Structure 1
Amino acid sequence: MKVVIFGAGLIGKKRGLQLAPHELVGIFDPDQARAKALAAELKTKAFDNEAAALGAPSDVAIVAVTNNALTPVSVKALEAGRHVLVEKPAALSLAELSLLEAASRRTGRAVKVGFNHRFHPSLLKARELVDSGRMGPLMFLRARYGHGGRLGMEKEWRFDPKLGGGGELIDQGVHLLDLIHWFFGPLPLQSSLVRTNFWPAEVDDNAVLTCAAEEGEQWATFHVSCSEWKNTFSLELYGRTGKILVTGLGGSYGKETLTYYQMQPEMGPPPFETFEFEGADRSWELDLKNLVDHVEKKTPLLGDLASARYCLEQVTAAYRANGYLNLPCNA
């Protein structure tokens, strides 16, 4: 398929580097110098304006812009006849997300949300173990995800409420909410603690959320932080007959591993098996492949607008409950 990328930042670059076997038609970014630099690296063209990018012959638009522009650019791409892969959280508010949902229905074009963590090998393996029945009925999930930030981060767009829509919760937090949705379905928010502990900013840098079924025993809890001085990813998934522990995402988050513990009828220390995943992060490539397969073969989307809506519902509820009323989700 032919692809156009909107946004020449870090994520746009990651997407562009993992496009094969598809053709990159070109890149647009309002920062022309940045667009031209990335276009040169990826051996493609930089469009002079958004209209030219929208008018270029292509099948898919990858929208990797600041959060406040995700929905507006995606709607324009849909109306131009493109299928869309839009970065999370896809919108700044539930009202804005409704516009994106309506545009997808109106145009008959698919929208894939960039929840690329589903395509990390450890999490694909976790899904395989759950689907095989080796975990038994799922009971709960416990996760931690965080990074230590960088000097001057409070001045970046992600910490500007008008551009980012929030802080750590709407950034890394939505990845964990999406994984909860993937394994358990739409568990509603039960409690939340959202704080600005370290960074001098109007948005949050730490959040702890617990989601739980209104009926039954399933629940999930997580802590996300950008004052986590050692980059961390840890996810534990508990079933009645087994446990999964995922650690690391590669790179600065450490080697990606999954350990499966098989509960025994007599209880006691369980036997376990550890899987290690080496090599480059291919989640961006597989994320796009999922959209292409959906378009060409009608296979299900893994990370769609329904999951984006679930994530934004919990984020909005948590921000309101903790007094972050200046954010776009509360407009």
Structure 2
Amino acid sequence: MDKVKFIMIGVGGMGREHIRRLLQVPEVEIVALADPSEAAVVDTRKRFPELAETDAYTDYREAIAQADADAAIIVSPHSLHFEQGMACLDGGLHVLMEKPFVAGSDNAERLIAHAEKLGKHLAVAYQRHLSGPYRYIHDVVRSGGIGKVNFICAYQAQNWLIPMKGTWRQNPALSCGGQLNDSGSHLLDVVLWATGLEPEAVTAMIDNRGAEVDIDSAVTVRFKGGAIATFNVIGSSNIDWQEDMSIHGEEGTILYRNHKIFVTKNGERRVTEVDESEFPPSGDPSRDFAELVLGRVTEAAAPASCGLAIARLTEAAWQSAAEGSRLVRL
């Protein structure tokens, strides 16, 4: 294959970001836009004049049936992902899905099994797998640069409660969860991906802050092998964004502070900042998936198994919080 043709399912804000990235890949062609909102399609065509003549559909099933496509990117409310993903696979398409993959681990397992049965690529758009700073952390930890990992503290704060009020993201029928399932999904994922650790038991305290979905979460995880992690996901913050991660190993420490990284190795006591020139190059999930379909890479940066792992961990946290912070074993 020397060219890959995409259907875009969902052309809102994040959908347009995927479009922007795909249009930078010469071997990619967007052959159909699917969105029930005519206004979203009109706005997309205004932003990207090269798509002015691209076929548009209000029903994604018509797009799958009529467009001559190889792959689809799904950027719709979370509750729709499973049904749309299955339909795309049945239509012979490879699928890249926005986080947090699908609603529930059962659906995740079914979708993965179906993709494997049909021989189709299935991936999740966890972009931190392609971000230079996070790739640096991944490479150092996975290579044993700080020794055996003992403790992780992951923190994310976002002004999410008020700005998202009244949107589908705070409608449980569409979002299938709140901040832990939204931006927090990235935080959970990057820790599991960077460390390679497998959760064993979870406890959690969660507050909805008057919303219909979770807003603030404090989650503690024990991993197989003995490492412990705390995840602090705050959606009621008044600051736009802050993300920190501290990984403590037997021989060193890595501190991530909003794109800045500080490290100690070989028993050093003082951390030093890592120059950005040492970070691996950054990429993006859209281009990475196109490269996968074109056969230029053998595995997606964030395969569907990553989405399944986060679904299981998130479900365990919700269960623990609902049962008075009871320990839930995975």
Superposition deviation, residue 46 in structure 1: 4.8
Among residues 29, 34, 52, which one is paired with 1:28 in the alignment? 34
* Aligned-partner Cα distance in 2 for 1:106–1:32: 35
* CA contact 1:39–1:46 (8 Å) conserved in 2: no
- Secondary structure of 2:30's counterpart equals strand
Unaligned stretches of 5+ residues in structure 1: 249-255, 325-331
- 1:186 aligned to 2:198? yes
CA distance in 1, matches of 2:192, 2:163: 33
| 1:118 Cα deviation after fit | 1.7
Structure 2 contact 254–262 (Cα < 8 Å) conserved: yes
- Gaps (5+ residues) in structure 2? 324-330
Give the 5 Å matches for 1:1-331.
1-19=4-22, 20-21=24-25, 22-42=28-48, 43-44=50-51, 45-49=54-58, 50-54=60-64, 55-149=66-160, 151=162, 153-182=164-193, 183-197=195-209, 200-214=210-224, 216-230=225-239, 231-248=241-258, 256-264=259-267, 269-270=269-270, 272-276=272-276, 286-295=284-293, 296-297=295-296, 299-323=298-322
What residue identity is the alignment partner of 1:62? I
**How far is 1:271 from its partner?**
5.0
Question: Which deviations, in whole Å up to 9, do the C-alpha atoms of 1:65-116 show, x marking residues without a partner?
Answer: 0001111111111111111100111111223223312321232101001111
* Preserved contact between residue 190 and residue 211 of structure 1 (Cα < 8 Å): yes
Any idea what the Cα deviations from partners look like across 1:209-265, whole Å, max 9, x if unmatched? 111124x321221111111222111111122222111122xxxxxxx222222343x
**Aligned residues between the structures:** 306
TM-score, normalisation: structure 1: 0.85
1:129–1:135 CA contact under 8 A, matched in 2: yes
Call closer, same or farther: CA 1:194–1:151 in 2, change over 3 Å: closer
Give, in angstroms, the shift of residue 208 of structure 1. 1.2
Hey, what's the Cα distance between the residues in 1 that align with 2:306 and 2:180? Answer: 15
State the AA in 1 paired with 2:180.
L
Distance 2:201 2:275 in 1: 32
Distance in 2 between the 1:315 and 1:206 partners? 13
Structure 1 window deviating more from structure 2 (231-240 vs 179-188): it is 179-188
**1:192-215 deviations in whole A, cap 9, x for unaligned?**
111113xx311110111111124x
- In structure 2, C-alpha distance between the alignment counterparts of 1:48 and 1:300, rounded to whole Å: 31
Q: CA deviation at 1:152?
A: 5.3
One-letter code of the match for 1:205? I
